[in-house]
Amino acid sequence: MKQIILTPGNTVSTSALFWCSIYGINLMMTSNTGRPLSMMLPLTSSAHVKTRIKQYEAYYNSKGVEIAKALLTTKVNNQIALLEKYGFDGHKLDYLVEKLQRIDGEKVDDVRPRLMGIESRCSKVYFRNLKTLFPDFLQTSKRMKYKAEDPLNNLLNLGYEVLKGEVYRGVMYAHLDPYLGYLHSIQFAKPSLVCDIQEVFRGLIDEFLIRYAQKLSENDFENKNGRMFLKQKESYKLIEAVNRLFDKRIKHQRIKKYGEHSKIRTAIREEPIKLGQYLRDEKKKYEPVVMPR
């Protein structure tokens, strides 16, 4: 994809920025952890008005409901598959998938409370089993996204942050509004569409961290204001390892039919493009990618 990523310590000339704009190349600046900080877009990026209009319209019609259900169904099925792989009875969640499929409504706001209720019930069962696959010193009581104090939650959050950067780049490349999602609520400064699409790939990060955490010890973490984080050096190692994972090639048919294998990174970045095609009625159905295990 035509994108340039700048992280701290890199420099770029104004001439290079000029040619990026001329040739329609997006340029994103991120933190060392991959968190998107700012983005330079060519002026022509705003010319894709049809995609944005269709995205906004879908929020108020049944297409948005179908998108939310497809994203959540894929997430739960991925959770079931991962639990089954490690010997748990993930199919105890099958009845919730069936319940999810029966939810219907005219617009997203009509169904989101019920969808997120199901998501919450599935996640509690999933995390209760998932945490037992990590070393004893990492095991914690519950899943925490914000202001997590324990090392396991902050380990997961760091992995998801790297994933979020990849999804964000895909959303911008697809000319979608990152702040208007369907599964997650719309809030100030919350890229809800990025959060939506990120759900499809969380299981990928979970499975990677199960393996990665086996070589970690308590000495790899440090206390920062009462919260336990990986030490800086170890954080960079983890970020590099996640990026190597994203460069792994899998059996995946790319949108432009460039063969049946591609990098995981490509599959992540193409997911928003698929969503855009569905929004523009170029596809009859939106089916999120299923990652091979």
Q: Is the dihedral of CA 156, 246, 189, 121 positive or negative?
A: negative
What integer pLDDT is reported at residue 25 of this predicted model? 76
CA distance linking residue 41 with residue 217, whole number of Å = 42
Please give the helix or strand (H or E) that residue 224 lies within, else none: strand 221-224
Q: Tell me phi and psi for residue 6, to 5 degrees.
A: -110, 130
Q: Determine the pLDDT at residue 194.
A: 96
Backbone phi and psi for residue 223, each to the nearest 5 degrees, phi listed first: -90, 125
**The pair of three-digit structure tokens given for residue 112, joined into one six-digit string:** 């989101």
Indicate the CATH number of 48-279 among 1.20.120.920, 3.20.20.10, 3.30.420.340, 1.20.58.340: 1.20.120.920
- Give pLDDT, residue 123: 93
Whether 92 contacts 107, CB under 8 Å:
no
> What's residue 239's pLDDT?
92
pTM of the shown model: 0.86
Question: With a cut of 50, which residues of the chain have pLDDT below it?
Answer: none
CATH architecture of 1-47: Ribosomal Protein L15; Chain: K; domain 2 (3.100)
pLDDT, position 140? 76
Q: What are the structure tokens assigned to 58, written together?
A: 């879908």
- Residue 293's pLDDT is what? 63
pLDDT value of residue 262: 85
Residue 250's contacts (CB-CB under 8 Å, 6 or more residues apart) are 261, 262, 263, 264, 267, 291, 292
Q: Which region holds residue 189: left if phi is over 0, alpha if psi is between -120 and 50, else beta? A: left
User: pLDDT value at position 11?
Assistant: 79
Q: Are 197 and 169 in contact (CB under 8 A)?
A: no
Map out the domains of the chain as residue ranges. 1-47, 48-279
The predicted structure's pLDDT at residue 286: 94
> What pLDDT, on a 0 to 100 scale, did the predictor assign at position 3?
65
Q: What is the pLDDT of residue 29?
A: 79
Q: What is the pLDDT of residue 148?
A: 67
At position 103, the amino acid (one-letter code) is: I
Closest CA to 172 of 45, 288, 55: 45
Instruction: State how beta strands 26-30 and 3-6 pair.
Output: parallel
